[in-house]
Amino acid sequence: MPVIRLTERRFVLLLLAPAGCFLAVFVAYPLLLLLRNSFYEVSLYALNDGVFVGWDNFVKALGSSRVRESAARTLNYTVIALSAEFVLGFGAALLFNALGKRSELLRTIFAFPLMIPPIVAGLLWRFMLIDNIGIVNHILETLGIIGDASDISWLGDRDLVLFSVALPNIWLTTSFVALVLYTGLQNVPAELIEAAKIDGAGNWQRFRRVTVPLLRPVIAVVLILRGIDAARAFDMIWIQTEGGPRFASEILSIHIYRAMIRYGNVGEASAIATLFMLGMVLASALAFAVIWGRGTSQS
Amino acid sequence: MRSPLASRALLMLLVALIVLVYGFPYAFLVSTSLKSPQAALAIPPTLLPQQLSIENYANIGEHPSVQRSFGNSIIIALLSTVITIALAVPAAYAVARYATWAGKTFLFVVLITRLIPPVAVGIPLFVIMRALGLIDTHLGVALAHSTISVPLGIWLLASFMEGIPRELEEAARVDGCSRFGALLRIIIPVASGGIAVTAIFVFLASWNEFLFSLLLSSTGVKTAPIAIAEFKTQYGIQWGTMTSLAVLFSLPVIIFSLLMQKRIIAGLTVGAVKG
């Protein structure tokens, strides 16, 4: 039997091969199929054949007001969820940081929502937000903020629903943002803060000129990761409203799902999904360049 | 200026308030699940059960298909964990130890997969699974879940393995251990804590996954999240039973997460020091 010498290069390739093959078959190949399908008219019931239609699906997708509306909703939803998570999370991180070691127990309790499965969060908020028997409206009524428990229809009001479906997302992930930023804050060298204090910088100035610039890489990672996850959201919204009432909470991933499964329009759905992914890549690259790039060029 | 003591008390109060608001929803879920089915829907709702009742939990017994779905979820999550660990351990080792062009590209590609909305690969995956005869099978859903967890696993494991001192393998190699031998006999035992943490993450990712399960399973291997989500349409909204299902479904996640808090730190240090 000839002995094949296991060089370093061969060894590395051998180690990467199983995972590489798996990702090629179950991630890369599906993506190629998706791209192919976006140029074909394909029915859900005859997925293997289809008629080549060129750019038709893209033209239809871009021309459809429902696609444009759900794209705008995806953006709105992401901005609502991300800004609330970031402001609340950063606030909590600063409070924990001010308390120092004493905050350990509080941090542990605060980390709790991290352990809740998304569908449970969606169901739970759906239950709490029901207008007449829901606890949220009951609390608001008790506090005298609303006159009657059925005054706010959180999941039934088309103008409000996008905010309401973001609530479980915000609840679930503020802890993540807070804990990551807290770790970042703990790593800011105390000497730098002291030096700024000696130079006469006030609280706000120290925060703006010392803490935030040093935290920039952490902030970039948190914002990009959370932004991607919020934009791809499906289950939490699906479980609360399935995109309703009358499409008012239908973000892109729900629209794509519906176009494929309910309407069997695989070609157009694939075109929308392709555009969606392209948008995500561009947005992440842009966010990365803006947040990260500015930090390094300033220093 | 306030005194430091007063401002500290104010700070503490503020933090306690935030924690209360964040802890409330889940406490309310558990509390509701322990009310009677009628009391769960009372107007106005009460914070605590006036009379403790396990009726909502007992009612799950009337729905065998929901019970089966928990079994399906366990099988699928275990399968997905085995597949992911088997694939990700060697790949992570290659990426962490050998800074080759292939390894770097690989890590970048793995990062890119995070940008893919699951709904985009869902339908093509459906086509592939059908061609392989894996629609509505445990293996099919587990493979789909692994498309999310293999990249996740590689990243987690690579960071754990980078923490292992190189001297350990170098010593083994000097003693005549082959490259594979060093991976099997040195790295894997030392990294076992990190592998355990990764396995838990992967298990939970599969346990929580919704969209692929929705697309790839019908009556045969329906997972718990889908069964719970559909529970409302099939029987009307039985919120009492729903809350007990939600509590049961979240239990493994909570238990594993609590276990993991200690493992993350212990996992990295124990192995290397003990040897």
Nearest to A232 among B95, B117, B178 (CB): B117
In a domain, A261, yes or no: yes
B138-162 vs B101-112: helix crossing angle, rounded to 10 = 130
Inspect the interface and report whether the beta carbons of B90 and A16 lie closer than 8 Å. yes
With a pLDDT cut of 70, the percent of chain A lying above it is: 95
Which residue matches tokens 């030392």? B190
- The predicted model gives A125-147 an average pLDDT of 87
Point out the least confidently predicted range of A80-84, A111-115, A291-295.
Answer: A291-295
User: Quick check: B108 contacting A, CB < 8 Å?
Assistant: no
In chain B, CATH 1.10.3720.10 covers 63-274
Instruction: Give the model's pLDDT for residue A24.
Output: 93
d(CA A270, CA A275): 9
Inspect the interface and report whether the beta carbons of A231 and B117 lie closer than 8 Å. yes
User: Quick check: A116 contacting B, CB < 8 Å?
Assistant: yes
Q: What is the mean pLDDT of chain B?
A: 84
- The predicted model gives A152-171 an average pLDDT of 91
User: Quick check: A25 contacting B, CB < 8 Å?
Assistant: yes
**Those residues with Cβ within 8 angstroms of residue B106's Cβ, 6 or more apart along the chain or in another chain:** A16, A20, B91, B94, B95, B154
Which residues of chain A neighbour B261 with C-beta distances below 8 Å?
108
The yes-or-no verdict on residue B114 having pLDDT over 90 is no
User: Which of A124, A151, A256 is best to mutate for the B interface (most B CBs within 10 A)?
Assistant: A124
Q: Of all helices (H) and strands (E), which one includes residue A49?
A: strand A46-52
Chain B (166-195) residues lying within 8 Å, Cβ to Cβ, of chain A: 178-180, 183
Lookup: tokens for A82: 């991300």
Confidence tier at B223 by pLDDT (50, 70, 90): very high
The yes-or-no verdict on residue A299 having pLDDT over 60 is no
In a domain, A28, yes or no: no
**Those residues with Cβ within 8 angstroms of residue A86's Cβ, 6 or more apart along the chain or in another chain:** A177, A222, A223, A226
The yes-or-no verdict on residue B237 having pLDDT over 70 is yes
DSSP A58-111: HHHHHH-HHHHHHHHHHHHHHHHHHHHHHHHHHHHHHHHHHHGGGGHHHHHHHT
- The predicted model gives B72-97 an average pLDDT of 94
- Can you name the CATH fold of B63-274? MetI-like fold (1.10.3720)
In a domain, A209, yes or no: yes
Inspect the interface and report whether the beta carbons of B250 and A116 lie closer than 8 Å. yes
Collapse the DSSP code of A265 into the 3-class scheme (helix H, G, I; strand E, B; otherwise coil) and give the result. Answer: strand
User: Quick check: A89 contacting B, CB < 8 Å?
Assistant: no
Burial (CB count within 10 angstroms: exposed 0-12, middle 13-18, buried 19+), residue A266: buried
In a domain, A192, yes or no: yes
Inspect the interface and report whether the beta carbons of A273 and B102 lie closer than 8 Å. no
Instruction: Give the model's pLDDT for residue B250.
Output: 92
Q: Specify the amino acid at residue A172.
A: L
The yes-or-no verdict on residue B9 having pLDDT over 80 is yes
Point out the least confidently predicted range of A67-76, A118-127, A159-168, B191-200.
Answer: B191-200
Look at chain A and report how many structural domains it folds into: 1
Q: What ipTM was assigned to the predicted interfaces of this complex?
A: 0.86
Confidence tier at A4 by pLDDT (50, 70, 90): low
User: Quick check: A71 contacting B, CB < 8 Å?
Assistant: no
Residue numbers of the domain that contains A146: 40-298
Confidence tier at A43 by pLDDT (50, 70, 90): confident
Chain B (195-214) residues lying within 8 Å, Cβ to Cβ, of chain A: 207-208, 210-211
Instruction: Give the model's pLDDT for residue A250.
Output: 93
Which residues of chain A neighbour B90 with C-beta distances below 8 Å?
14-16, 18-19
In a domain, A51, yes or no: yes
List, for residues B162-205, the tens digit of each pLDDT value: 888 888 888 888 888 888 888 888 888 888 888 988 898 899 89
Instruction: Give the model's pLDDT for residue A263.
Output: 87
CATH number at residue A182: 1.10.3720.10
Confidence tier at B274 by pLDDT (50, 70, 90): very low
Q: What is the pTM of this model?
A: 0.88
User: Which of B8, B10, B15 is best to mutate for the A interface (most A CBs within 10 A)?
Assistant: B15
- The predicted model gives B250-266 an average pLDDT of 72
Lookup: tokens for B239: 């919120």
Nearest to B90 among A15, A102, A115 (CB): A15
User: Quick check: B90 contacting A, CB < 8 Å?
Assistant: yes
Nearest to A128 among B28, B86, B180 (CB): B28
The yes-or-no verdict on residue A210 having pLDDT over 50 is yes
Using alpha carbons, select from B33, B44, B97, B216 the residue that is nearest to residue A134: B44
List, for residues B12-36, the tens digit of each pLDDT value: 888 888 888 888 999 999 999 999 8
Lookup: tokens for A98: 């001010």
CA-to-CA dists, residue B123 to A3, A221, B227, B274, angstroms: 45, 30, 21, 48
Instruction: Give the model's pLDDT for residue B3.
Output: 65
- The predicted model gives B224-247 an average pLDDT of 82
Count of beta carbons in the 10 Å neighbourhood of residue B178: 13
User: Quick check: B126 contacting A, CB < 8 Å?
Assistant: yes
